[in-house]
Amino acid sequence: MHWNSLGEFFAMGGYAFYVWTSFGLTAVLVAWEVLGLRARRNQAWRDLQQARLMDQTDLGEAR
């Protein structure tokens, strides 16, 4: 470990903006994709559930 303090670690030898933007953007993009996919999956489930409910009521009316 060649960092003497936490402040030095965050300063990144004066390149803090470039380094932390790079790594931060990576984290943001990954989080965005994972959460977006979770929302998409939930939406797909909701659609399926709704279709199922509608089918059931249709059947009920037919009877």
Partner 1 sequence: MKIMTGINWFKYSSPPAFYPLAGLLIPWFYTLATVFAAVGLYISFAVAPTDFQQGEAYRIIFVHVPAAWMSMFLYLVMATWAGFGLALNARLSHMMSQALAPTGAMFTLLALVTGSLWGRPMWGAWWVWDARLTSELILLFLYIGFIALQASIDDPRRADRASSLLALVGAVNVPIIYFSVKWWNTLHQGASISMTSAPKMAITMLTGMLMLALAFWMYSIAVALVRVRCIILERERRADWVRQLVEVKF
Binding site for partner 1 (CB under 8 A): 1-3, 9, 12-15, 18-19, 21-23, 25-26, 29-30, 33-34, 37, 40-41, 44-45, 47-49, 51-52
Nearest CB to partner 1, comparing residues 52 and 63: 52
3-state helix, strand, coil in the chain (%, to 5): 90, 0, 10
Residue with tokens 């300063």: 11
CA-CA distance, 39 to 45, in Å (whole number)? Answer: 10
Nearest CB to partner 1, comparing residues 49 and 58: 49
Nearest CB to partner 1, comparing residues 39 and 63: 39
